[in-house]
Amino acid sequence: MINETTVKIRTINPSALGQFGLAMVTLVAASQKLGWTSGTSLLIPWAIFLGAFAQLFACIHDAKQNSLFGTTVFGAYALFWFSIGTTWMITNGVFGEAIMAGIDVKQLGMAYIGYFIFSVVMTIAAMEIQKILFIILFLIDFLFLGLAMVAFGIAPHFAHNLAAYSELLISICGFYGFAGNLLNGHFGREILPLGKPLGIIKKS
């Protein structure tokens, strides 16, 4: 006779850390786009450790909670920031002049289009999870649209401002989402409202 034992491992909600990582990296990146800071050298560590690793951590722990949305959204954006950090290293000559000579910014534009499509899909999914997530993803749609337009040289001044201000608003909303998830979870009651699902697609 075989006795089977089921072990359930409980993990914390990683959304606070994931949203904090997003808020931090977009704040620093937006400061460069808005002209408050200059260059990309000191954006790289924030892209890798806050944008990428913090969201990758959230992705892994959401996977343990069987959260398809959290795993996908945090994982995909973690990989995005790994890629952007590497891109900035290339443009700063970290890998040498030969690889810099082969840069075609339109390839980056194609990647932004791909992530714009991804973000639109995740925005639709977020409608039935949390209003703050929906707002963040809605703003991310405009960020990728603006970045793609810049890469392809379409209305560059407008597109740059669209990306810059969208990224700043993403950061502000990300800090709010981080605070709400942390405080609500820590105190076991609603301190900061994060917004109920919109109830458009999933009828309760």
pLDDT tens by residue, 188-201: 999 999 999 988 88
Looking at residue 167, its pLDDT comes to 98
* Model pLDDT, residue 2: 59
The first and second tokens of residue 85, run together, are: 């950090």
| 198 closest CA partner among 121, 133, 116 | 133
- So what's the pLDDT on residue 118? 98
List the structure tokens of 121: 């899909």
Spatial neighbors of 133 by CB under 8 A, at least 6 apart, are: 126, 177, 194
- Positions in the chain short of pLDDT 70: 1-11, 203-204
